[in-house]
Amino acid sequence: MSKLQDKVIIITGASSGIGKSLAEEAMKKGMRTVLAARNTGAMEQYTSEKNWDPNRFLIVKTDVSVEQDCRELINQTAKKFGAIDVLVNNAGISMRALFSDMELSVIKKLMDVNFWGTVYCTHYAMPWLLKSKGSVVGVSSIAGYRGLPARTGYSASKFAMQGFLESLRTENLKTGLHVLVACPGFTASNIRKTALVKDGTAQGESPRNEHAMMQPQTVAAHILKAVEKRKRTLVLTTQGKITVWLNKWFPAWTDKLVYNHIASEPDSPFK
């Protein structure tokens, strides 16, 4: 039996990708699962297809960039299950454009979703998480360790998330709260198709080979295993681990490697 059996988990961005896979993995482990996202239709469809027991899950329409939505997510969870044990801040958006070409509203939108969404949800969940000595999880990125060119807003939002969570962990050294920063590396998901370009519209087709990347089901399993073990950090994929290590010891060389890697993407902003 999993240590997470019957625990209450909230997953933001649960309509697709890593969030959807986290919900499926949580239900397999016998968790009581709250699925939060703007696209309720997608969540309703796959929970119906899985024939999940409605007493074991809850769907809440949530735009994490809206503070009131995050407060309502926590309130509805507490009302149905009477507890919160794990909060996974997974909702996020990306971008792909050079800073010199980009409208500033793009960076604001990324900060509102990726950073403020994490802050809002965590703030309102804190009383419940402190009571349960539970877990706060931030699904970040290698871009939270290493700034990526043409991803200035995305990198900034993930650095901000990781700084917030590191501070939160230190504040709560003696309360029993567990904080995990999970950095999946490149994962097959919708995030690149919905990534914003310089004018704030979605780029559409991903410039990368999604089939060659780590699959979201694998990422979800790693994240919940890290929650069970109450790990501090999780860095996934060989490429991700190498990038973090190189950036720590050889930052100037890593600048060149990262530049060349992004410049080699199909339809790169550098071309």
Sheet holding 32-37, edge to edge: 57-61, 32-37, 8-12, 86-89, 135-139, 178-183, 233-235
Report whether 182 contacts 174 (CB < 8 A).
Answer: no
10 Å CB burial of residue 108 (0-12, 13-18, 19+) is middle
| Longest CA span, the chain | 54
Residue tagged active-site, from 46, 120, 154, 259:
154
**Residues 40/41/43/46 CA torsion (nearest 10 deg):** 170
176-to-9, 134, 172, 265 alpha-carbon distances in Å:
17, 8, 7, 44
72 Cβ neighbours under 8 A, 6+ residues apart: 60, 62
Could you tell me the two tokens for 172? 């709560």
154 among known catalytic residues? yes
Q: What is the 3-state secondary structure (H, E, C) of 89-145?
A: ECCCCCECCCHHHCCHHHHHHHHHHHHHHHHHHHHHHHHHHHHHCCEEEEECCHHHC
| Helix (H) or strand (E) segment spanning residue 154 | helix 152-171
Could you tell me the two tokens for 142? 């290698």
Active site residues: 154
